[in-house]
Amino acid sequence: QVQLVESGGGVVQPGRSLRLSCAASGFTFSNYGMHWVRQAPGKGLEWVAVISYDATIKYYGDSVKGRFTISRDNSKNTLSLQLNSLREEDTAVYYCGKDYYLTSPAMHLCDYWGQGILVTVSS
């Protein structure tokens, strides 16, 4: 069965950096785009970034563009998100998600989600 397990969260001061990882199993990781979506405390879902199955396409939400970097290692079945210049408003649970479409540049929806990892940005 598909499993996505996030790690790397924690408490960090504003302006500092953090790196999140998502370990994938139960499917052919190299065939699917992957997403990061976050949810601030008491708020709705916010899309963060997506990377295509072959890492040739990357898109970012406006609030994180230029500060966050999405990447993947298909040899290790791992998705990553590098969070730089963190702000208090980046405090959220971060979810990784598997895209539904097989080897497609159309990365429109997630069919599986991880359990989420909390990032708290506070001085």
- Provide the token pair at 27: 């499917």
What's the closest the beta carbon of residue 15 comes to other proteins, in angstroms?
A: 26
Would you count residue 8 as binding other proteins (CB under 8 A)? no
- Rounded Cα distance, 66 and 2, in Å: 31
Would you count residue 54 as binding other proteins (CB under 8 A)? no
Tell me which residues in 70-109 interact with other proteins (CB under 8 A). Answer: 95, 97, 100, 105-109
Nearer to other proteins, 42 or 123 (CB): 42
- Rounded Cα distance, 31 and 99, in Å: 10
Would you count residue 46 as binding other proteins (CB under 8 A)? yes
Would you count residue 110 as binding other proteins (CB under 8 A)? yes
Q: Would you give the distance in Å from CA 29 to the centre of its chain?
A: 14
- Kindly give the residue spans of alpha helices, DSSP state H, lying in the chain: none
Nearer to other proteins, 11 or 57 (CB): 57
The string of DSSP letters for 25-74 reads: ESS-GGGEEEEEEEE-TTS-EEEEEEE-TTSS-EEE-TTTTTTEEEEEET
Q: Given the rule CB under 8 A, which residues bind other proteins?
A: 35, 37, 44-47, 50, 57, 59, 61, 95, 97, 100, 105-111, 113-116
